[in-house]
Amino acid sequence: MQTLVKHALSIAVLGTLAGALAPAALASSHREAPFLTQSPKVDGTDFYMFRSYETGRANFVTMIADYVPLQDPGAGPNYFEMDPNALYEIHIDNNGDAKEDLTFQFRFSNTNKDTKLTVGGKAVSIPLVINGGPIAGANAAGANVRETYTVSVVRGDRRTGTKASVTNAADGSTTFDKPLDNIGNKSIPNYTAYAAAHVYNVNIPGCSTPARMFVGQRKDPFVVNLGETFDLVNIKAPATEFAANAEKAAKDDLALKNVTSIEVEVAASCLTASTGTDPVIGGWTTASVRQARLLNPTPNSSSPSKEGGAWTQVSRLGAPLVNEVVIGLKDKDTFNSSKPSGDAQFADYVTNPTLPALIEILYGSAGAKAPTNFPRADLVAAFLTGVKGLNQPTTVTASEMLRLNTTTPAVAMGAQNRLGVIGGDNAGFPNGRRPGDDVVDIALRVVMGKLCTLSLGCVPADAPAGALHFTDGAYLDDSFFNNSFPYLKTPIAGSPQTVTAQGGRGAP
């Protein structure tokens, strides 16, 4: 924390504000823009990028891009396949120009194996994803659908750069199996082992060190008091001191939800610039679909529609969660189609941010006064340029993305501070983002002026509520996750169900 205070914003950094967009997150990116409510398969929900804290993996960076929000565990029979007509991407900027230098591209393919049963002497296709016996391994005989994917690495512009295939280190193949979703314990008796069989050691073209990769369903890692947050921030009023269990006083509305994760663990040296002069990288994830879709009037399982035209980006996610609570409704789909290099168009949403004003209106009686420093230079440092001495690249181009200093040592599980940098843990958000970083509480405090209390881009007098302990009451820390790749927990099974405290039935 002393490093942060020591390196206050310079005049040069303040000058970038005109082209800046500063995010402030209250919730994960679930259903945040009107168009994506119609296309959940390409809705990016969260993006994580952090120094791997698994023992023996200190020189690696893990990137996790989550898609397909609010998955109910028992939502059969088709569950949550990825879109075979979409392009899913993770982008890395390693020279600070707000343009991708390295892109990981994922394409999916779903094959109906058309399992049949003989009924009355006739072979008839079954209606279910699974058939008969338990499923234990990749492409098991009991599975009626096989979902596979390929991965390419593009160096330079994601559409015109040099492209090459990621290969399986075991056999050189370029096609990988994605596990079925966690249907239930009868279909997949040991889902943890089954999913682990889909963790691949891979070779990335241009990288001398093998990487690891996993794509599949996980327990949704985000924790948030979603319902009360969007009911005009109907959460507990902040206090100057931590009240007993205040940060654990609310329900996590995603506690019984799953998500689909794309995870890649890559040597840090493969992500930074080849010149080796700058250890800071920026990252964001996107999803794109074709410009045109022609519906088949006589559809079947292999051709319900015909896709064509250029790729069109429909989802974008860097820091959590800009689009949901910062970007105005009229510009939400525009933001999802934009690139970091074009973020100047959204400047008004940071120069006059509405979230602090809303919090002041709702909790003014509790002393929750919004910061008075305009422009909000503190937010520029935290989210747009990186903080000097922490995660600011040598070349600074104000743009929204998640920035990580790859030389900051990882902090072991159990020792991580859930509040990241403002909690004295420089390996946490906004220096990258780990699964256990409670970005809801962090962002609430930062947007209300926490950095002003450190004289970072503003002074304490600018933030009357800067010392308040804002929280949504839904608790999160590193104990919610595993201490090894792929880090996120096994998804909640659709079966067997348990009776909930409210008398209904739900997943265990």
Q: What is the DSSP string of 43-84?
A: -EEEEEEEE--STT-TTEEEEEEEEEEEE-TT-TTT--PPPT
Higher per-residue pLDDT: 327 or 265: 265
* pLDDT of 32 strictly over 90: no
* pLDDT of 354 strictly over 60: yes
Q: Is the pTM of this model over 0.85?
A: yes
* pLDDT of 278 strictly over 80: yes
Confidence at residue 34, expressed as pLDDT on a 0 to 100 scale? 58
Token pair for 43:
């809705």
Give phi and psi for 201, each to the nearest 5. Answer: -85, 130
Whole-number Cα distances in Å, 507 to 71, 258, 489 = 12, 11, 15
Confidence at residue 472, expressed as pLDDT on a 0 to 100 scale? 87
Confidence at residue 245, expressed as pLDDT on a 0 to 100 scale? 66
Higher per-residue pLDDT: 242 or 307: 307
- Amino acid identity, residue 20? A
CA distance 383 to 372: 19
Token pair for 61:
């960076």
Confidence at residue 21, expressed as pLDDT on a 0 to 100 scale? 33
| pLDDT (mean) for 273-287 | 91
Strand order in the sheet with 60-71: 44-51, 60-71, 258-267, 211-219, 200-203, 167-168
* pLDDT of 157 strictly over 90: yes
Provide the mean pLDDT of the chain. Answer: 86
Higher per-residue pLDDT: 406 or 363: 406
Confidence at residue 37, expressed as pLDDT on a 0 to 100 scale? 66
449 CB-side CA count, 13 A: 26
Residue 169: closest CA among 201, 197, 198, 196: 201
Q: Which helix (H) or strand (E) holds 36?
A: none
Residue 276 Ramachandran class (φ > 0 left, ψ -120 to 50 alpha, else beta): left
CA distance 396 to 60: 24
- Residue 247, C-beta contacts closer than 8 angstroms, at least 6 positions apart: 441, 471, 473, 475
Is residue 235 a contact partner of residue 472, using CB atoms and an 8 Å limit? yes
* pLDDT of 319 strictly over 60: yes
Q: Helix, strand or coil for residue 17?
A: helix
| pLDDT (mean) for 220-241 | 78
CA distance 379 to 373: 11
| pLDDT (mean) for 272-297 | 91
Is residue 319 a contact partner of residue 401, using CB atoms and an 8 Å limit? yes
| pLDDT (mean) for 391-419 | 95
Is residue 341 a contact partner of residue 384, using CB atoms and an 8 Å limit? no
| pLDDT (mean) for 67-85 | 91
Confidence at residue 128, expressed as pLDDT on a 0 to 100 scale? 81
Three state DSSP letters for 395-413? CCCCCCCEEEECCCCCCCC
- Within 10 Å of residue 294's Cβ, how many Cβ atoms? 9
Give phi and psi for 29, each to the nearest 5. Answer: -85, 65
Report the percent of the chain where pLDDT is more than 70.
87
CA angle centred on 459, ends 457 and 463, rounded to 5°: 105
CA distance 341 to 101: 13
| pLDDT (mean) for 215-242 | 81
Confidence at residue 27, expressed as pLDDT on a 0 to 100 scale? 40
Position 20 confidence tier, pLDDT thresholds 50, 70, 90: very low
Confidence at residue 154, expressed as pLDDT on a 0 to 100 scale? 98
Confidence at residue 320, expressed as pLDDT on a 0 to 100 scale? 84
CA distance 367 to 136: 56
| pLDDT (mean) for 317-326 | 75
* pLDDT of 448 strictly over 70: yes
Least confident among 180-184, 384-388, 502-506: 502-506
Is residue 317 a contact partner of residue 63, using CB atoms and an 8 Å limit? no
